[in-house]
Structures are given as structure tokens and as C-alpha cells.
Amino acid sequence: MRKSKKERQVLLQETIASTPFITDEELAEKFQVSIQTIRLDRLELSIPELRERIKHVAEKKLDDEVKSLPIDEVIGEIIDLQLDESAISILEINKEHVFSRNQIARGHHLFAQANSLAVAVINDELALTAKANIRFTRQVKETERVVAKARVEQTDSDKRRTTVEVNSYVGSELVFSGVFDMYRSNPTQR
Amino acid sequence: MRKSKKERQVLLQETIASTPFITDEELAEKFQVSIQTIRLDRLELSIPELRERIKHVAEKKLDDEVKSLPIDEVIGEIIDLQLDESAISILEINKEHVFSRNQIARGHHLFAQANSLAVAVINDELALTAKANIRFTRQVKETERVVAKARVEQTDSDKRRTTVEVNSYVGSELVFSGVFDMYRSNPTQR
């Protein structure tokens, strides 16, 4: 059953708060209303459009600075970073990222986003990937926006190895997950 | 103890026969002689230089044709292909593939070479990576040449899933290994 406007707007606010990078198209599908309706809802609720929301996040100064590589070598845009703890990046899937035949994103681009985020989150001048265990859980299409979230899970046994788990989403759907085993030159402080 | 010229030339021929993409630099190091000596050895033995050896292999018509993607979407140059059996590609590591800071090849390029080879070897219009388990076993530096070898290991249980093992070498040293679980649209014929 379709929700009343009031119910929908409450849920809309909650949804955008928990998944700020959701598109109007995804919201429209989720609430089974037109994109126009979502836009009007956002207007009434004073929620800026996605592009503005991302810009806003991107303009916030990152809490930390990437140490392990120049920031322009990170694949995707880093929008949050706590060294040796967590990081988030966004990659917009364009023509250059997809198979020409079916417009499905090529695996190595999702891997590159996740792997470079796993490098960037390390609080060390040197971070190299030793191994990775990855899963592609849902096809990603051209124009979709992939949000990768990295979380550092320190193992106590060896301070020069750090495990980073990266989960990547389109909206609220998991599209990629990976566990990266990273070498670092200095033992972690944690 | 350094070998006699005759011994060295016999071993040189064997080495190039078993690892045809080995460079003169690697041969010089292996036999503890100068690069000039290796060049003279090759001249006497009428073994063409590496560039010619690769060209020769690349010009041989491939036994099969890539079906799962346009050949120019394969990362690296395919020099051997037997659909649903095995494939080999070569990727030369240039400036664009390395971290600016230490000239070490970025993991996602080695991954891209291996993953696209795992796609290319599949005898199907559609091949997608479901998951992968990978290892970076040795750092690869700028100007090195990575030879990736894919081998298809069919599991009988599910004909729409194919496992492809890819091992990548610089000279005779393993630099990357990965096991890729691939989806295909049509069951394999094997």
C-alpha cells in the first residue's frame, strides 16, 4: 500500500539521513512515486539535491590527511577519512568504466576504488596490498554511484600487517565486498 | 663458480625456451655476466631480442578468438588463447601503472590484467566475475613486463560457474596469483 505524503516524507528524511548518497531515482523506486514527487518532497523538507549533498560532504575538511599516497592517486573521491580507522569514497561509474557490450562496470574499477581506499586509510608512508579476498555481489551499471566504506580491523599478532574491510554500495545495495591484507612499513600505534 | 661460455650458452638456450619473455637484464643477472655478454651469446646462438620474440608470438594467429569481450578491452596483450582452457597475456608496466612515490606497480593494474584474462578465456558471450582470491607475491617495478597465465579449472557441479586460475610472472618470479570464480550465461561444453 502506498504511504501517505506525511508518512513518506518522514521515511524520506530517515532514508536520506542513513544513506545520504541515494539518488532521487532510487528514492522514487523505493517509495513507488514519481521522481517529480521526490523532488517536491525534498523541496518541502529543504533537503538539497544529491549533487549538493555530496559537494557539502566533500567540502568538509577531512579529519585526517592521506599519508600513504598522493590524494590524486586515490581512485574515486575520498569524502571521509580517519587514519587507521575508517574511510569513505565515491566513484561515479562512467562510460570509461563499463564493458562496451552491456554497460556493466568492469570489476577492476570497483577493485581499484576499494583497494586504493584500503591503501589510503593506512597511517603510514608505505602501504602495500599483500592479498585480498573479494566478492562482486551485484552488477553495477553506467551512471550509478558507488560508495565504498573501509574499516580497519587491526590484528594484534603482527603490527606490520593491517586488515582492511571494504564494502561498496549503490544506494543501500551491497555491490562489492573485499578484505584486504596490507603491509605497512611502521607498526601501527593502536 | 661462473660457468664456461659453452655451459652458459646451453643454459641460456634452455632458459629462453622455457621463459621466452625473460629480458637480457634478467639473464645477465641470472648468469652473473654483463648484458653485453648476453647480447653476444644471443647473436652467436641466433636468438632474436626480446622485442622480436614477443612480436613473433603476437603475430602468430591466436588459435581461438576472444568471445566474451572486444579484444581491445583486454588489459595487456593476449598472445595465446585456447577458449575454456588457457590464455596468456603480457602487460608492460609503465609510468601510468605505478605509484608516483616509489615506482611500484599499483595492485589494481595487475588485478585488471589477470581479471580481464580470466574473462577473455571464457567461451561465452557473457562472463562476469563473482569472486576472487588474490595474492601479490612480489613488488613489480616500472619497465618490468608481467606475463599472466590463465588456466581454466572446470568444476563439474555447476556448469554455469567456471574457476580460472591466473598466475603472473616477471621473468620466472611469481608476482601475482589469483583464483577467479566466473559466471557465464551458457553452460560449458566440456
State the CATH number of the domain containing residue A136.
3.10.129.10
The alpha carbon of residue A172 is apart from the nearest alpha carbon of chain B, in Å, by: 19
d(CA A90, CA A74): 11
Confidence (pLDDT) at A164: 96
- Tracing cell 590527511 back to the chain, one arrives at A65
B95 shares a domain with B31: no
Q: pLDDT tens, B156-184?
A: 566 788 999 999 999 889 999 999 999 98
Interface probe, candidates B96, B134, B137, B161, chain A, greatest A C-beta count within 10 A: B134
Q: pLDDT tens, A80-124?
A: 899 999 999 999 999 999 998 889 999 999 999 999 999 999 999
Using a CB–CB cutoff of 8 Å, tell me whether B130 touches chain A: yes
Using a CB–CB cutoff of 8 Å, tell me whether B95 touches chain A: no
Please give the tally of structural domains in chain A: 2
Q: What ipTM goes with this model?
A: 0.73
Report, as ranges of residue numbers, the positions in chain A whose pLDDT lies below 50.
none
A91 shares a domain with A20: no
Q: Give the Å distances, CA to CA, from B95 to B102, B105, B185.
A: 11, 9, 37
Interface probe, candidates A110, A111, A117, A164, chain B, greatest B C-beta count within 10 A: A111
C-alpha cell at A8: 513518506
d(CA A92, CA A88): 14
Contact A81, A120 (CB under 8 A): yes
- Give chain A's mean pLDDT: 88
Q: Residue A73 is part of which domain span?
A: 62-184
- Cβ within 8 Å, pair B130-A115: no
Judging contacts by C-beta atoms under 8 Å, the chain A residues touching residue B131 are 133-136
Judging contacts by C-beta atoms under 8 Å, the chain A residues touching residue B70 are 100-101
- Tracing cell 598466475 back to the chain, one arrives at B167
Contact B148, B113 (CB under 8 A): yes
**Over chain B (190 residues), what is each successive 10-residue block's mean pLDDT?**
86 88 89 93 90 73 80 88 93 93 93 96 91 95 94 75 94 94 77
Q: What pTM, to 2 d.p., does this model score?
A: 0.76
B156 shares a domain with B92: yes
Judging contacts by C-beta atoms under 8 Å, the chain B residues touching residue A98 are none
Confidence (pLDDT) at A59: 65
A72 shares a domain with A47: no
Helices (H), A60-161: 107-120
State the CATH number of the domain containing residue B12.
1.10.10.10
Confidence (pLDDT) at B50: 84
C-alpha cell at B25: 637484464
B50 shares a domain with B69: no
| Burial class of residue A144 (count of CB atoms within 10 Å of its CB; 0-12, 13-18, 19+) | buried
A30 shares a domain with A89: no
Confidence (pLDDT) at A61: 66
Q: How many CB pairs under 8 A join A and B?
A: 74
